[in-house]
Amino acid sequence: MTADPNDPLPSEAELALAWSSPGVRGPLTTALQLDRRLARIVARTSEPMLGQMRLAWWREALAMPPHERPRGDAVLDAISVHWLGREGSLTAMVDAWEVLVTAERIGPDEALALGLGRGAFFAALATASVQPELAVRLATAGQRWALADAAARVSDPAERAALISAGLSTRDGACRIPGELRGLAVLEALALRALRGGGRPLMDGRMAPLTALRAAIFRA
């Protein structure tokens, strides 16, 4: 699946995709496109119940067998191709975005729920059997990315502080990210840089490309 030209992915996502192996590129693109779709639902929601209904459509569609899902939606069709049997982590993403629909403010609890659920798909991208250490490593990378991206997009200083605090409270993993998933290492490194910079955009500043390159090489 290629990115929708009418809804392009952010530059850090395109960079991560460029560093990902061919077998990972399709699933990662699909997950990032779904994330953008859900983010747009939340951003455009003024009435929580309506937002919950729109998110429930995705939750129900993901729970269906592929042959019973509605056809014609590019993202949902791609999920049936690239995420067959792994839809649970995408459902976790839907649940995470629902937190922002129902919460009055983003505090520590909301930030933690958002990070854990929105970034859950990182661990599901591993194509081989995953040891516990690697599962934790990938989950942490996903959490950092999810929180850093959110922190760069909120306008309320207190909410941004809660997101940054949750992102920086994660612990470094004890193993390296596999080579085929080096794109996730890129997103994690950019996320940590953004969090330490006070919630800046992930690709902000001239050093962002160098940060991404180092992460792609060392995957530490």
pLDDT digits (tens, 9 = 90+) for 6-54: 578 999 999 999 999 999 999 999 999 999 999 999 999 989 999 999 9
State the total domains in the chain. Answer: 1
CB 163 within 8 A of CB 147: yes
Q: Is the pTM of this model over 0.85?
A: yes
| Short-list 212, 143, 147, CA closest to 173 | 143
Residue 113 lies in a domain: yes
Distance of CA 69 to the CA centre of its chain: 23
Calculate what percentage of the chain has a pLDDT beyond 90: 87
Residue 5 lies in a domain: no
* pLDDT value for 220: 64
* pLDDT value for 164: 98
CB 22 within 8 A of CB 47: no
Q: Mean per-residue pLDDT for 56-79?
A: 96
Residue 6 lies in a domain: no
CA distance 188 to 184: 6
Average pLDDT, the chain: 93
User: And the tokens for 100?
Assistant: 């922002």
Residue 207 lies in a domain: yes
Q: Mean per-residue pLDDT for 60-75?
A: 96
SS3 content of the chain, % helix, strand, coil (to 5): 70, 0, 30
Q: Quick one: pLDDT band at residue 174, thresholds 50, 70, 90?
A: confident
Give whole-number Cα distances, 72 to 29, 42, 51, 191, 199, in Å. Answer: 18, 22, 22, 33, 37
Residue 1 lies in a domain: no
Residue 214 lies in a domain: yes
Residue 204 lies in a domain: yes
Q: Which domain holds residue 202?
A: 11-218
* pLDDT value for 129: 64
CB 99 within 8 A of CB 113: yes
Residue 2 lies in a domain: no
* pLDDT value for 6: 55
| Short-list 148, 184, 149, 186, CA closest to 167 | 148
Q: Mean per-residue pLDDT for 149-166?
A: 97
* pLDDT value for 219: 77
